[in-house]
Every structure is written in C-alpha cells, then in structure tokens.
C-alpha cells in the first residue's frame, strides 16, 4: 500500500477522512458491542459456565487495550493503512471461528486474542490519530466526536441485526455473518493510510520511548488515565452483561437487543455533544460531569422498578455518557503532547481503559455466579464513577513544554 504523505493530504477531503474513520469504528464497535447477545448461546452450546465464558470476554477487553500502544507506535511510524488492514482481517477471522471453539482456551484465542487484538489495531487510538493528522487542528474536537459517534452508530445498527440473525439463522451462523461484515472496513485503510508532511507543526513524532517516558512523568496524564480505567470498567460491564441484567429481570431477548441499540443510538448524541462542547468548555470539567452523571443514573436504576420502558430509558441515559469520554480524553492527550505521538500515547491511556474493562467484564460474571445478582457490581460502579469525577478536577489542560516549543 502506497502511503504517500503529501498526496494523502491533498487527495482526501475532510468529510471523506471522517467517513473512513467513523465507518471503520462503526464496524469494529458494532461487532464487538453485540457480543453480549452471544454469551448465553455460547454458554448453552459449550456448557463451560458463565464464569469461564466471561473470562474469555474479559481477556479480550484487556488484550484490546494491550495491542493499542503497539499498534499506535506502528501507525505513528509506518502510517495507519497497513495497521488497519491487519486489524480488520484479524477481527473477521476471529469472529468467524468463534462458534467452532468448544473450550475456554479456544474461546480466549478466538475472542480474546484474534478478534480483540484486531479491533485494537483498528481501534480509536489509531483511527483518531490518523484523522487528527489529516485535518486542521481547529476541527479536531468535532472530528473526534464524529469518529467516536461512528462506533455508537455501528452498535445501534448492528445490535438489532445480530438479534434478528440469532432468531433467523441461529447464533453460530449469525456470529459468522457479523465477522464477514467487518471486511467492509478494508477500503478505509487507503484513505487513512497517509500522513501529513513531516514539517507540519506538532506532527513529527519523537522517539517512542522518549515520548512514553515524558508522558508517564506528567501528573495530569496519569490522572486522565486513572479516570479512563473507571470508564473501561463501566463500559465493559454494560456491553457484556446488560443483556444478562435484562434477562434476570424476566424480560424477553428483544429488550436486550433494543437496549444495546438504544445505548448505541444515544451514544451518537453523547459523542457529537462532547465534540461540540469540548471546543467551548474545559475538557476536564466535562469529564467530571460525565462520570458524576453515570453514578446518579446507576443509583436511580437500582431503585426503579425493572420494566421494559425503564430498561430502555436507562439504556438511553447510559448511552449519552457511554463513550462520550473518548473524544475528550483523546483531545486532552493531543492538548498535552501534540499529535506526533498521539496514537502511541492515547493507546497507553486506552490500555488503562481496558484494564478496567477486564475487571468489569470478568467481575460481572463471577459476582452473578456467586450471588445470582449484579447488584454488588452496580455499587462498585457507582463508587468508581464518583472517584473518577473527583480525580479529573486537578488536571491542568496546558500543553507540556515540548508541544509549546514546537
């Protein structure tokens, strides 16, 4: 793939760059965020137990995060195109072979290594950094929101498709169809494969080790990463176990599929709203508000009657805050360090996010097996959300010295 820097910038207009990045994220997130619908059928087909299958999903959350700093470093140096192609192929293959796995190790390999690793290579760290390099600095806030909204749109569209396929052709064939749909992302690699001229301010990357060392000494970066850990816990628990929560309320499968779809639909509004707001207010204050809103919403849901309308309203409220943290977190990383090493440094923040995701996905299954309820996890989620709201307040949004000098 020819990734000519100057040609890429001249050839692709702003709208096409965003369509490629948002469309890729839609296919990746749409596939990954519907996997909770397959948890119960996998358990019935393999007999491995909810805890073992949750372990595979939880490992996938962690591996998704672990791949992003390395994928980001590759994209910073080689261009995003090759990384995105490999990622899409891995997601498609891993998803396609998952129904053939009959052991915990097999599920970890298919879901946790192949699919999750591929999704990490074609994840937000690479996509947002690629888009940031190809668009003007003053438009990056809204661009991050649009790219992030693409993931939500994918969930909104693909969750009902997955639910209909499960009913129509069975869960095994449905999962394989979802894997093949990921291949539609391959053309986007050509658009996003370029990089800007090396002379562009803030674009030339520093040596990877030096950039990481600088970031890990920056207190605001560390606080941002700690808050994103909480985001990962919350998002992974919802994505993996919300269908189980709804089933435990005695509601039919359709409510699970539509709850995931509503979650994705309202996350589009949340992501676009975050992209709009972050150019007008301080990003750290917006992040504190989002985490506080999560804590309040979960507490109200626990106290409310668990009816179909209540579940859908809860999914809508959670959708507004679900991934609206991503554009603001990416924006702060770019504010601190510029975009030269953004894929690497945002990839590290995504790693802490996925450490929280591992805990949220795994703990949800373990707690339900032990107690028959998800209430303990909900209360942990509330405490963590309050902590995240507080830890963002001391963050300083000023660029570090090397970015200002550039």
Separation between Cα atoms, residue 107 and residue 98, nearest integer Å: 6
- Mean pLDDT over all residues of the chain? 83
pLDDT in tens, 345-393: 888 888 898 889 888 888 888 888 888 888 899 999 999 999 999 999 9
| SS3 annotation, the chain | CCCCHHHHHHHCCHHHHHHHHHHHHHHHHHHHCCHHHHHHHHHHHHCCCHHHHHHHHHHHHHHHHHHHHHHHHHHHHHCHHHHHHHHHHHHHHHHHHHHHCCCHHHHHHHHHHHHHHHHHHCCHHHHHHHHHHHCCHHHHHHHHHHHHHHHHHHHHHHHHHHHHHHHHHCHHHHHHHHHHHHHHHCCHHHHHCCCCCCCCCCCCCCCHHHHHHHHHCCHHHHHHHHHHHHHHHHHHHHHHHHHHHHHHCCCCHHHHHHHHHHHHHHHHHHHHHHHHHCCCCCHHHHHHHHHHHHHHHHHHHHHCCCCHHHHHHHHHHHHHHHCCHHHHHHHHHHHHHCCCCHHHHHHHHHHHHHHHHHHHHHHHHHHHHHHCCCHHHHHHHHHHHHHHHHHCCCCCCCCCHHHHHC
Region 18-36 average pLDDT? 85
Residue 12 confidence (pLDDT): 63
The more confident residue out of 92 and 138 is 92
Q: Give the model confidence (pLDDT) of 311-344 as tens digits.
A: 899 999 998 888 788 888 988 998 888 777 777 8
Q: Averaged over 266-272, what is the pLDDT?
A: 83
Mean pLDDT to the nearest integer, 115-129: 86
pTM: 0.71
Spell out the domains of the chain, with CATH numbers in brackets: 7-405 (1.20.1250.20)
Predicted local distance difference test score (pLDDT) of residue 73? 81
User: Model confidence over 71-93: pLDDT tens digits?
Assistant: 888 887 777 888 899 999 999 99
| pLDDT on residue 194 | 57
């Amino acid at each position: 793939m020819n990734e000519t820097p100057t040609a890429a910038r001249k050839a692709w207009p702003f709208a096409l760059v965003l369509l490629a990045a948002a469309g890729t994220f839609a296919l990746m997130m749409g596939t990954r965020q519907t996997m909770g619908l397959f948890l119960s059928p996998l358990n019935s087909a393999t007999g491995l137990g909810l805890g073992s299958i949750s372990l595979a999903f939880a490992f996938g959350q962690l591996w998704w995060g672990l791949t992003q700093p390395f994928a980001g470093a590759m994209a910073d140096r080689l261009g995003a195109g090759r990384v995105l192609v490999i990622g899409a192929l891995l997601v498609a293959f891993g998803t396609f072979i998952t129904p053939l796995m009959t052991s915990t190790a097999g599920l970890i390999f298919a879901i946790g290594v192949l699919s999750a690793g591929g999704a990490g290579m074609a994840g937000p760290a690479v996509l947002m950094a690629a888009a940031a390099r190809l668009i003007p600095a003053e438009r990056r806030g809204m661009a991050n929101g649009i790219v992030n909204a693409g993931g939500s749109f994918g969930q909104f569209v693909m969750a009902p498709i997955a639910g209909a396929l499960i009913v129509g052709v069975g869960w095994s064939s449905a999962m394989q169809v979802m894997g093949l749909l990921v291949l539609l992302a391959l053309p986007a690699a050509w658009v996003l494969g370029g990089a800007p001229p090396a002379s562009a301010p803030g674009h030339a990357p520093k040596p990877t080790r030096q950039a990481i060392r600088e970031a890990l000494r920056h207190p605001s970066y560390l606080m941002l990463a700690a808050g994103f850990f909480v985001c990962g816990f919350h998002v992974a628990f919802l994505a993996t176990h919300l269908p189980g929560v709804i089933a435990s309320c005695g509601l039919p499968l359709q409510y699970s599929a539509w709850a995931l779809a509503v979650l994705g639909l309202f996350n589009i509004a949340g992501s676009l709203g975050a992209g709009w707001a972050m150019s007008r207010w301080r990003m750290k204050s917006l992040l504190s508000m989002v985490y506080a809103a999560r804590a309040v919403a979960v507490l109200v849901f626990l106290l409310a009657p668990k009816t179909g309308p209540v579940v859908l309203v809860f999914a809508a409220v959670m959708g507004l805050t679900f991934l609206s943290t991503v554009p603001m977190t990416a924006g702060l990383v770019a504010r601190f360090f510029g975009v030269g090493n953004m894929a690497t440094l945002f990839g590290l923040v995504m790693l802490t996010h996925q450490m929280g995701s591992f805990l949220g996905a795994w703990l949800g299954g373990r707690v339900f097996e032990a107690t028959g309820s998800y209430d303990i996890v909900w209360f942990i989620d509330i405490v963590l959300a309050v902590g995240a709201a507080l830890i963002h307040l001391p963050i300083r949004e000023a660029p570090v010295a090397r970015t200002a000098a550039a």
